[in-house]
Amino acid sequence: MNWRGWIKVALAMFVFAALHGAGAIAESIPTSFDARFEQSMEEAGLEFERMLLPLDCSKAPDEPRLVDSILVHFCSDAMENPDSPYDTRRIVDGFRRFRVSAHVLIDREGKVIQMVSLDRTAYHAGVGRIEGAPERENRLNEYSIGIELMGIGTRSEMSPFMEVERYDTIDPKDLGYTDPQYDALNRVIASIRRLFPEIGRDRRSIFGHDEWSPGRKTDPGALFDWERIGLRRYRGESGDSR
């Protein structure tokens, strides 16, 4: 990051302290990992904002993390506001209320919002397992970066969260994912892989919450096109599309 970038960080820290008190800023200082990530977002031409969640939404690892996976999710405020499901502050507040998190959130226009420092363990995967990695069972948070896309799944995928009648009031343009999101996701994945080179560019390393915990989770769901990020649709298929 150049000197202008560091000035921006310092100003943000000063404003945060003025609004929330000195104790709060101690929980919200970006790390060197975060500075490198922000710089890569700037170099990629992506709009970036840092909205770090409180520390009780994540945890500091006992030792530097071995990160070898990316877990893809969807999120929205459709359950409470189906007519306006993508208000960023309401969505971030939802993570805060439930004390869960992901490292990165990508909005409908492709803006990247960082919610957790990349060297911290976010609470995003929960219980689950993935074929070929028995040591990860119920422990994926420790080994992964969580990426949330603002998106809404199919009627059946959303049925655990909302009534069908309420789902049917959602504007069809708010379903699935947008072109700017796919573009941003590709760039975010490339940046994260530079920071964590153990992450492969394949479906062994990059997969969905619904694959980690089938039957319990439905995101990112059938409307997410894995081929738009250069990967096979199904994790069991051999090879990748690039």
CATH of the domain at 51: 3.40.80.10
Question: Which of 207, 60, 68, 197 lies closest to 131, judged by CA?
Answer: 207
Annotated catalytic residue 63: no
**Could you tell me the residue range of the domain that residue 160 belongs to?**
47-229
**Are the CB atoms for 65 and 55 separated by under 8 Å?**
no
Query: What's the pLDDT tens digit per position in 33-74?
Result: 899 999 999 999 999 999 999 999 999 988 889 999 999 999
For the stretch 12-24, pLDDT in tens is 443 433 434 333 4
Q: What is the mean pLDDT of residues 195-213?
A: 96
Say whether pLDDT at 29 is over 90: no
More confident residue, 146 or 27: 146
Predicted pLDDT of residue 235: 72
Domain assignment present for residue 24? The answer is: no
Per the structure, how many domains does the chain have?
A: 1
- Whole-angstrom distance, CA of residue 39 vs CA of residue 48: 10
Residue spans of beta strands (DSSP E) within 164-231: 206-208
Give pLDDT, residue 28.
56
Any domain includes 125: yes
Q: Check whether 86 has a pLDDT greater than 70.
A: yes
Listing DSSP states for 5-69 in one string gives HHHHHHHHHHHHHHHH-HHHHTT----HHHHHHHHHHHHTT--EEE-PPPGGGEE--SS-----E
Which one of 38, 42, 49, 148 is the catalytic residue?
148
